A and B are shown apart, each in its own frame.
Chain A
Amino acid sequence: MAFTPAKETYSGKVYPVTIGMGNGASTVGGESVLPFHSFEGAAPNRPLIAFEIQDVPPADWPESVKKPYEGVSDDPVKWATFCQNELKAKAIALRLVGTHPDRENRSPEDAAKTVKDVLAAVNVPLIILGSNHAEKDSPVLVAASEAAKDKNCVIGKAQEANYKTIAAAAMANNHKIIAMSELDINLSKQLNILITQMGFEKERLITDPMCSALGYGLEYTYSVMERIRLAALTQNDATMQPPMLGDIGMYVWKVKETQAPEADLPHWGSLEERGIAWEAVTATALLVAGAELLIMRHPKAVEEVQKTIEELI
């Protein structure tokens, strides 16, 4: 007797969200099945990986992930162009970390200029991220939204403390936004409700339930993502149907396993390989949990995850 795989049917569907312009645009989401369950139904779009770049040189990144960007990471335009042209990035995530008051404290005007310059240099979709300082992100992301007007970027991250300003700016300038809550599925749903109650279309949202690295709470992110996806598909919960973001790189490249030198911990093996594996494994886990959009740092880790996607799809 031939084997017939059991098939689930789902009542809901993840919204397809298109970002970027023209032939560089990409769509994420749109599936009506659990991740990689294409044998059960439609999964029209592959997960999208964005390369992370910054508005200031990555002084705080570990050596092994700084190295691939040597000679370009001192300038966001060069860095973005390198990702697009050399690394074949399908999306770029520009983190305006230099605007943080405890860092370079760059002004919203500086940030806007960086955004304009990067946008002029690349063709792929741009994700524009603040410095995760809720207060400062408001003026920075408003200025960035205006600078990127009508370029269909993703603006983030809107949090409980600042979503009104950021969502309003994204709405006025035709962007998508990332709504982030801190590892709490109920607050994640609540934030999506609050943003849509402002008149922001739910089909323009991307949910970030907050990422974490392997060994540092990944299982929390995993289960929140999994629950969100199940609510979207099995309960047809419209507030939980935006695609999800895994902001991998910034969490992975600060943990001990991606930084501790081989000299100190020889039994942990090659530092470079270890870091790449750490990022790739974290990313793969979150893809399986339901993330459709990833932000990553190391080109080799991205390559590995792309391979996995091709195998699983």
Chain B
Amino acid sequence: MLIIGEKLSIIAKRVREAMMKKDKTPIQEIATRQWKEGSGVIDANIGPAEDGGEDLMQWMVTTIQEVVPLPVCLDTTNGKAIEAGLKVHNNKWGRPLINSTSNDPERFPILELGAKYKAQVIGLTVGKGGLPADAEERCAIAAEIMGRAMEYGVPLEDLYLDPLVLQIATSQDHARHVIKAIGMFQEMNDPPMKTVVGLSNISNGCPKHVRPILNKYYFLMLMNAGLTSAIADAHEMAEAMNEKKLFDDVLAGKKIDDAKKLDEIKKTLDIIMGNTLYAHSYLEM
């Protein structure tokens, strides 16, 4: 399982301020922590970055790689910023990852960059027509992206399919569609396609104390479905791995001693699988 450390996002206030001021300290602190806690790639999410995106991405890549011997995931919708980042990326630590292409023609040039710089590319299974309705639509879009990747010269081994995790608080059914899609994606090629999710979006909008619980058990469900990698908090995922045996025991219907954990896991599984309707207080019911 490859963890793409997610904490360096422009959405976080502390990170945004550091990006604005070009203050390396917080960026390097966070990157180092994600690395020490098990990330294999560091995500650098600079948002749409319409102004100064190229400089910002180069600064992010070099700032991260100054202290962390890992490749960077270049996360922006700005193609020029991605190319700028690819130019300075130190491939000694591994090949960079681009986040992302999709089935939207505007996102096809990303594949050109992938081929040119021999980068790995995330293919988000959305098109111009809005969000996919279920696992099958995600697969149909994945097939289009795979065809496009080959056309542009990105080997399928370098493509990570992303089924698009949606918020469970508003789109509960998609939680299980995504699990199913992860299983189906693998069947679309031999060797199986690699897969990735933006994990924490599952709990976006949920109460703060519920978020890590949903993140962890959703991650373990996806892992059981064959997920290859996740953009996630490495610390939280390390905790999830510690609970994997317990979780699998509950899934297998075995008795476990920790009553509180058992309750949390069962209720969360019911929410993820759609057996119970989600509400913010679901753990208290």
Q: Which residues of A contact B (CB under 8 A)?
A: 184-187, 189-190, 193-194, 197, 227, 231, 235, 237, 239-240
Contacts and interface: CB of A to CB of B under 8 A. Distances in A.
A197 B281 contact: yes
Contacts of A239: 277, 279, 285
Contacts of A227: 277
A185 B170 CA distance: 8
27 contacts: A184-B170, A185-B277, A186-B169, A186-B170, A186-B172, A186-B277, A186-B279, A186-B280, A187-B279, A189-B278, A189-B279, A190-B279, A190-B280, A190-B281, A193-B279, A193-B281, A193-B284, A193-B285, A194-B281, A197-B281, A227-B277, A231-B277, A237-B277, A239-B277, A239-B279, A239-B285, A240-B277
A197 B284 CA distance: 10
A213 to B, nearest CB: 24
Interface string B262-285: 000000000000011111110011
Nearest to A230: B277
B276 A235 contact: yes
Contacts of B276: 235, 237
A231 B284 CA distance: 18
A37 to B, nearest CB: 21
B169 to A, nearest CB: 6
Q: Which 9 A-B pairs have the closest CB atoms?
A: A189-B279, A190-B279, A193-B281, A231-B277, A190-B280, A186-B278, A189-B277, A193-B279, A186-B279
Contacts of B278: 186, 189
Contacts of A237: 276-277
Contacts of A231: 277
Contacts, number: 34
Given A189-B279, A197-B284, 7 more contacts: A184-B170, A186-B170, A186-B278, A190-B280, A227-B277, A239-B277, A239-B285
B117 to A, nearest CB: 43
Interface size class on chain B is 10 to 19
Chain A interface helix/strand/loop/mixed: helix
Contacts of B280: 186, 190
Nearest to B205: A186
A190 B284 CA distance: 11
Contacts of A197: 281, 284
Nearest to A190: B279
Contacts of B170: 184, 186
A235 B169 CA distance: 18
A227 B279 CA distance: 14
B175 to A, nearest CB: 12
A184 B169 CA distance: 10
Nearest to A231: B277
B279 A235 contact: no
A235 B275 CA distance: 7
B181 to A, nearest CB: 22
Nearest to B281: A193
Contacts of B279: 186-187, 189-190, 193, 239
A193 B282 CA distance: 9
A205 to B, nearest CB: 14
Most buried by B among A186, A194, A197, A231: A186
Contacts of A240: 277
A41 B284 CA distance: 32
Contacts of B172: 186
Interface in B151-180: 169-170, 172
Contacts of A186: 169-170, 172, 277-280
Nearest to A227: B277
A182 B259 CA distance: 36
A24 to B, nearest CB: 35
Contacts of B284: 193, 197
Contacts of B285: 193, 239
A239 B278 CA distance: 11
A227 B173 CA distance: 12
Nearest to A236: B276
A197 B282 CA distance: 12
